Amino acid sequence: MRTSTRLCAVGDVEPGSARRFDVDGHRIALVRIGGDFYAIGDRCSHADFSLAEGEVLADDREIECWKHGSTFSLTTGEPQSLPAVKAVPVYGVRVEGDEVYLELPR
């Protein structure tokens, strides 16, 4: 079972950027690359720093932790570089018209 929560309008997140949201106890980094949206846990697994504040690496579909440089796959949450070695959670995202929705497990 999943619950669907409206996060924002499509235009609220610029292409090539990320924005943090707090939803039902989950800290989410919503990333936009072109017309695609990705949602991952917003805490770097190496240290508790916000991934939404990091650089979006559009060509690789990754986001970089601004503090120590670890990168994470936006599709799997797996770390792509050290020092992080543990994955961060990924969440489903859907766009309906001009609205972006987050899919959370119940």
- For 11, phi then psi, to 5°, come to -70, -5
For the chain, strand residue ranges (E) read 2-9, 17-23, 26-33, 36-41, 56-57, 62-64, 71-73, 90-96, 99-105
Condensed to tens digits (0 to 9), the pLDDT of residues 14-68 reads: 999 999 999 999 999 999 999 999 999 999 999 999 999 999 999 999 999 999 9
Condensed to tens digits (0 to 9), the pLDDT of residues 76-88 reads: 999 999 999 999 9
CB contact at 8 A, 26 and 40: no
Eight-class DSSP state of 6: E
How many domains does the structure of the chain reveal? 1
* Both structure tokens of 49: 């720093």
Which domain, by its residues, includes 70? 2-105
**How many helical (H) and strand (E) elements, i.e. helices and strands, does the chain have?**
0, 9
CATH of residue 20: 2.102.10.10
Q: How many CA atoms lie within 13 A of 21 on its CB side?
A: 21
